[in-house]
Amino acid sequence: MNTTYRKTKMMAAFAAILGLTLTACGGGSDDGGNAGGGDGGGKLAGAELAVGSKEFTESKILGQITALALEDAGAEVNERMGISGSATVREALESGEIDMYWDYTGTGWVNILGNTTKNVPDDLYQAVNKADKKKNNVVWLEPAPFENTYRIAVPEEFGQENNLTNMTEAAEFIRNNPDQGAVCAASEFINRSDGLPGLEKFYNFEFSEVVELDLNLIYTQIGESCNFGEVFSTDARIVSNNLTVLEDDKGFFVEYQGALTMRQEVLKQHPAIEKIMAPISAALTDEVITELNGKVDTEGQLERDVAEEWLKSEGFIE
């Protein structure tokens, strides 16, 4: 393995590290926060629920979809959107600061339950749900059919010029061309065992430089500050920035299927949540979530507006 030096640069605004937005919703309308007249039917009338999200666009959209659906069912919802970091939002769930948020099966398996990326069970969702419920009293509702996994991307032209289509080819290229082996990545990916450290070990290489950026800056900096960059597979900015996603040809990355997670006591107290969210989750395919992400990241719409428009268009709320 090359013993090239590593240098980490901080280019993101430090104020975005925490990214915790506290916004009370549902108390400003005459109907007590009911967002519409869909199938909610007042099943959660009188309930007070706190919905959280992580700091990136997709998580915020999923949080808003959940908040609006619960408001439609009569609940008073407090939003805790934009919590920075998987560990932080999970801590907020376990401490009772929030009642639910969307997470991903790969994160649950590796980061929450402490497993490795090796010997991953065939039915990862069931394994994560069973273990998290037993160990932490946290329930994972039925997952959506989309999967948002980590990937490494390169500028389309750079990939074509250097015949880069997968991670094996990228690892060999970086070993032979360390001066072109910089990667742009966010803090969490840099430090996760199912992120950068594990990826380098698995493919037996090292990026020559790590440029640490706020997650939202990475897509525009691939090809500028670095030739390689961390991306999410359902992010519409891959297309809008003319990036090529490298195939994980040896299968390092774990499946990251999205699911709403909540404390078991919350579900027991409000079992209607599961029935309300089931058809909504089932409708969130790869194509749908990528399109919703694009409305925010490339068109500049607000997450709540995008979530509300989609829920209404699908008949989940009026």
Question: Amino acid letter at 136?
Answer: N
pLDDT band at 118 (very low <50, low <70, confident <90, very high): confident
pLDDT at 32: 35
pTM over 0.85: no
pLDDT in tens, 29-47: 333 333 334 445 689 999 9
Q: pLDDT tens digits for 121-154?
A: 999 999 999 999 999 999 999 999 999 999 999 9
Residue 79: its pLDDT value, please? 97
Please tell me the distance from the alpha carbon of residue 256 to that of residue 108, in angstroms, as a whole number.
9
Q: Which of 102, 93, 106, 60 is nearest to 216 (CA)?
A: 60
- Say if CB 112 and CB 132 are below 8 A apart: yes
Average pLDDT over the chain, rounded to an integer = 89
Question: How far is the C-alpha of 137 from the C-alpha of 306, rounded, in Å?
Answer: 32
Per the structure block, which two tokens stand in for 282?
């089932």
Q: Can you give the pLDDT at residue 33?
A: 36
Q: Nearest 5°: phi and psi at 52?
A: -115, 175
Q: Does domain 8-12+150-245 have CATH number 3.40.50.1400?
A: no
Q: Do domains 8-12+150-245 and 31-146+258-313 have the same CATH topology?
A: yes
Q: Are 62 and 146 in contact (CB under 8 A)?
A: no
Distance (Å, whole) CA 219 – CA 117:
26
What is 151-192 written as a DSSP string?
Answer: EEEEEHHHHHHTT--BHHHHHHHHHH-GGG-EEEE-HHHHH-
Domain spans of the chain?
8-12+150-245, 31-146+258-313
Q: What per-residue confidence (pLDDT) applies to 40?
A: 53
Q: Are strands 243-245 and 150-155 parallel, antiparallel or unpaired?
A: antiparallel
Instruction: Tokens for 240, please give them.
Output: 């809008």
Helix (H, G, I), strand (E, B) or coil at 208: coil
- φ/ψ (deg, to 5) at 9: -110, 140
**Binning pLDDT at 50, 70 and 90, where does residue 189 land?**
very high
Tokens of 156: 């389309």
Contact in structure between 26 and 32 (CB atoms under 8 Å)? yes
The CATH code for residues 31-146+258-313 is 3.40.190.10
